[in-house]
Structure 1
C-alpha cells in the first residue's frame, strides 16, 4: 500500500480553521463571522481565512463536504469488506458511514443545506451532491458507462437527501430510525428498477414485437 502523502500547507490551514470553526458554525451558520472566530481560536487571522477560502464561507462548506467524501472512502476501504456485500448493502453502508461521521456536527450540516438551497449557490450544491453520490457508487464497485451511470446517481441523490433529512432529527439508538428509512427507500428504488427491467424485457418479447408491427400506422397510397 502506498504511503500517504503529506498534507500541503494550504489544506492543513483549511482543516485547522474548519475544525475550530465548526462549534461557531452551529450558531452563526456558514459565515465569515464563524470562520474568523474559528481562526482566532486556532491562533490564526482573518487574513489566513481569506487566503485559504477566497470565496468565503461557501469555499469552507465545499471543503467540509469534500473532506467528508474522502473520509467516507477511506473508512469504507479500510473498515468494510464491500466486495462481500450485495450492491444494495454496499450503498446502504456508504450512506450510513457518510452520515455517522457527522454525528457531532449535525447543525453544521443542516446549515450547510440551507446555504446550498440559495438560488445563487444551487449549482455548487448540485456539484457537491453529485460528487458525494459518485464517490458512493465508485466505492460500491459501479463500472457503468451508459445511461445507467447517470440514472444510478440521480436515484441515489434522492435516496441520500431524503435519508439525510431523517438523520438530522433522529435521536434513536444507533440511528435505527435513519437506517430503517434508508433500507425502505433503497427497496423502493430496487422495485422501480425491477419494473423497468420487466418493461424492457416486454418490449423485446417476440409477440410484443409482432403487436407493435401490426399497430404501426400504414402509409396511404
Structure 2
C-alpha cells in the first residue's frame, strides 16, 4: 500500500475512537490495532501520530468541498454568494461534529495552534483559488486573512447550532460576509477620496510592494516576496 492508503486506513479506523478519546495517542493506538498496521509503518506515515490524522481529516473535508464546488454551476450567483456557498459546503462536508470539536480542542493547545491556523488558512486559500482569485499583491493576504476570520467564527457558531438544517448558521454566515463587503466598500471609498488617499499614499505605497507567494520569479521556499524599496 502507498503512504496515502495507509494514512487513509488509519484515519478511517480512528473516526470511531476520536469522539471518546479525542485526537490523542490512545486513538492512534486503537487505529493501529484495528487496522493491523505495524507501529513502525504507522509512525513513518504519521510521525506525530493523531495530530497528523487530525490534519488529514481536515484535508479530507477540504477535498470534499472542492469537489462539490467544481460540480456547482455558479450561474448568476453574486461573488459574495459563491464565497458563502464554499464555506457552507466545507461545513456540510463534516459528518460528525464531535470530530471537529475534538480537533478544535487539539489545535487550541499552544503546541499545535500553528497547525490549526495553517489548516484554516489552507482551507480559505483553496476557496479563493477555486473561485478564480488572481490577486498577486497584498490583497492575496488580506482576502485569505479576512475569510479565515469569517470561516472560524462561522465554524464556532455552527458547532453550537441546533436549528433546522443549520439555518441559523447560514444566516450568521451571510451577516459576516455582509460585514466584510461593507469594509471592502469603505476601502474603495478611501482610495477614491482625494484627501484620504493622499494621507494614505505612503502606507499604500509600502503595501503595493508586497507580492503573493509562488509568483513566477519568486523563491518557492519563501512565503511571499517584496519588491521595491522602503
Question: Using the alignment, how far apart are the partners of 2:63 and 2:155 within structure 1?
Answer: 18
Aligned to 1:93: 85
Q: Distance in 1 between matches of 2:184 and 2:121?
A: 20
Tell me by how many angstroms 1:174 deviates.
1.4
Residue 36 of structure 1 is matched in structure 2 by 29
Deviations 1:141-177 (A, max 9, x none): 1111111111111110000000000111112221111
CA distance in 2, matches of 1:75, 1:124: 25
Structure-2-length-normalised TM-score: 0.80
Q: Structure 1: which 5+ residue stretches go unaligned?
A: 1-7, 213-221
Q: How does 1:13-28 map to 2 (within 5 A)?
A: 13-28=6-21
- 2:138 counterpart of 1:132: no
Residues of 2 paired with 1:85 and 1:161: CA distance?
Answer: 23
- Aligned residue number for residue 190 of structure 2: 199
Determine if contact 1:28/1:34 at 8 Å carries over to the other structure.
Answer: yes
Structure 1 stretches of 4+ moved >2 Å: 38-49, 82-85
* Greater share of helix: 1
C-alpha separation in 2, matches of 1:124 and 1:20: 22
Q: CA deviation at 1:39?
A: 3.0
The residue that corresponds to 1:117 in the other structure is: 108
RMSD over aligned Cα atoms: 2.0
Secondary structure of 2:161's match? coil
Unpaired segments of 5 or more residues in structure 2?
202-230
**Which has more radius of gyration?**
1
Q: For each residue in 1:176-206, what CA deviation from the matched residue of structure 2 results, as whole angstroms up to 9, or x when unmatched? A: 111110001000110111111111111378x
Q: Is the 8 A contact 1:36 1:49 kept in 2?
A: no
1:15-94 equivalences in 2 (<5 Å): 15-78=8-71, 80-82=72-74, 84-94=76-86
Looking at structure 1, the residues matched to 150 and 106 of structure 2 have their Cα atoms a distance apart, in angstroms, of 20
1:27-73 CA-partner distances (Å, limit 9, x unpaired): 10111211221232334344443232111111111111122212211
For residues 138 and 84 of structure 1, do their structure 2 counterparts lie closer, same or farther at Cα, with a shift above 3 Å needed?
farther
User: Among residues 173, 187, 209, which one is paired with 2:178 in the alignment?
Assistant: 187
Q: Does 1:10 align with 2:3?
A: yes
Using the size of structure 1 for normalisation, the TM-score is 0.83
Is the Cα–Cα contact under 8 Å of residues 30 and 111 in structure 1 kept in the other structure? yes
Contact kept, 8 Å, 1:36 with 1:45, in 2: the verdict is: no
Which one is further off, 23-32 or 113-122? 113-122
Q: Which moved more, 1:113-122 or 1:157-166?
A: 113-122
How many matched pairs?
199
Distance 2:134 2:75 in 1: 14
